[in-house]
Structure 1
Amino acid sequence: MYDPNNVFARILRGEIPCKKVYESDTALAFHDINPQAPTHILVIPKGAYVSLDDFTATASEAEIAGFFRAVGEVARQAGVVEPGYRILANIGRDAHQEVPHLHVHIFAGRDLGRMLAKAPE
């Protein structure tokens, strides 16, 4: 269930400030307050969606397209497409999702290393 008092909902309502880098009708992007890479930007949909599963099951086609276009636009504007970047969305308890509002992290600005070790053959 969506919590309308989560930190991202409060940012969207203007109750908490953010260092905004992009905004459209469907998405907002801003710098993470605790960056894990030289470039660490969060992209959130403006609608009340808990997870990617919730979003893709219930959002309109325009919201889905607008959100994913926003992720690409933010990466281009940040100048991280050519050197490379990582996107990450933690969904649910086992993935350690901390805020119950869908959000995608964009990490860049250095060699980020491997995410996972290769599986044994």
Structure 2
Amino acid sequence: MGGFYMQYLESLCRRRGWHDPRYECYRDGNGYTCLVLVNGREYQTDLAYESGSLAQENAAMRAFMVCRNFSVNGGMLARNGIVQGLPADESSRRARKGSRHAYSSSSHGHRSRSSHHSSSSSTTSLE
């Protein structure tokens, strides 16, 4: 079972008739990052996290915060120099996959790489 924001995002998608969110997690030397595809747009973490599940939860939180007010800003939001909600481009995702170890899952196929949690990682901060 995913975190609260993963559940919120899945529920939002179902209410709006969108496909379930698709998560792509990447691991590099700094930890895990995640990109989630929602309604043809990409939302991503801005930090590396200790586990894939924390990265997925953060990406879901970012997507949910934008998508719940989708009509207000056209599904896009800029935070910390990262524009969230860019239209998904298959070629850009392939380029990212080639540079880092990646795995994908939908909200139903949630995969966790580690059960460690860090109290220093916050999924509620938007700044």
TM-score range normalised by the length of the shorter chain: under 0.3
The structure number with the bigger radius of gyration is 1
TM-score by length of 2: 0.26
TM-score scaled by structure 1?
A: 0.27
- Between Structure 1 and Structure 2, the one with more helix by share is 2
